[in-house]
Amino acid sequence: MTYFRQNIEKTVGYQPGFQPSFAKATEGRPKETDVVKLNTNENPYPPSPAVMEAIRNISEEQLRRYPDPLGNAFRKAAAEVFDVPSDYIMCCNGGDELLKIAFCAFCSENRPVAYPVPTYSLYPVLANLQNCKTIEVPFDSEFNLPAKLASADAALTIVCNPNAPTGSFVSVDEMKSLADELSGVLLIDEAYVDFAEDNCAALVKDFDNVIILRSMSKGYCLAGIRFGYAIAQPALIAGLMKVKDSYNVDAVATAAATAAIRDQAYFRQNVKKVKDERARLTQQLRELGFDVPDSSGNFVLAKCKNHKASEIYEKLVEQKIYVRYFDYASVNDKLRITVGTSEQNDKLLLALKEILSEFG
Ligand X SMILES: Cc1ncc(COP(=O)(O)O)c(C=O)c1O
| Binding stretches for ligand X (CB under 6 A) | 41, 94-96, 120, 160, 164, 189, 191, 215, 217, 223, 228
- Nearest approach, Cβ of residue 220 and ligand X (Å): 10
H or E element in which residue 157 lies: strand 156-160
Which one, 160 or 170, has the nearer CB to ligand X?
160
Of all residues in this chain, which one has the CB nearest to ligand X in the complex?
94
Q: How many Cα neighbours within 13 Å face the side chain of 20?
A: 19
Which one, 120 or 139, has the nearer CB to ligand X?
120
- Nearest approach, Cβ of residue 192 and ligand X (Å): 7
Which one, 262 or 336, has the nearer CB to ligand X?
336
- Tell how strand 89-92 and strand 113-117 pair up: unpaired
- Nearest approach, Cβ of residue 190 and ligand X (Å): 8
- Nearest approach, Cβ of residue 289 and ligand X (Å): 27
- Nearest approach, Cβ of residue 306 and ligand X (Å): 29
- Is residue 30 classed as helix, strand or coil in its secondary structure? strand
- Nearest approach, Cβ of residue 59 and ligand X (Å): 26
Backbone angles phi, psi at 317, to 5 degrees: -60, -40
Q: Which residues of 174-189 are buried (b: 16+ CB within 10 A; e: fewer)?
A: ebbebbeebebbbbbb
| Residues 324, 279: Cα–Cα separation, whole Å | 19
- Find the helix packing angle between 122-130 and 95-106, rounded to 10°: 40
Which one, 222 or 355, has the nearer CB to ligand X?
222
Which one, 74 or 120, has the nearer CB to ligand X?
120
Which one, 17 or 289, has the nearer CB to ligand X?
17
- Tell how strand 29-31 and strand 23-26 pair up: antiparallel
Burial of 33 (0-12, 13-18, 19+ CB in 10 A): exposed
Backbone angles phi, psi at 73, to 5 degrees: -60, -45
Which one, 54 or 160, has the nearer CB to ligand X?
160
- Nearest approach, Cβ of residue 315 and ligand X (Å): 25
Cβ-contact 309, 355 below 8 angstroms: no
- Nearest approach, Cβ of residue 217 and ligand X (Å): 3
Give the chain's length: 360
Which one, 47 or 351, has the nearer CB to ligand X?
47
Q: How many CB atoms lie within 10 A of CB 89?
A: 26
Which are the contacts of 228, defined by CB distance < 8 A and separation ≥ 6?
A: 91, 92, 93, 94, 95, 96, 97, 98, 191, 213, 214, 215, 216, 217
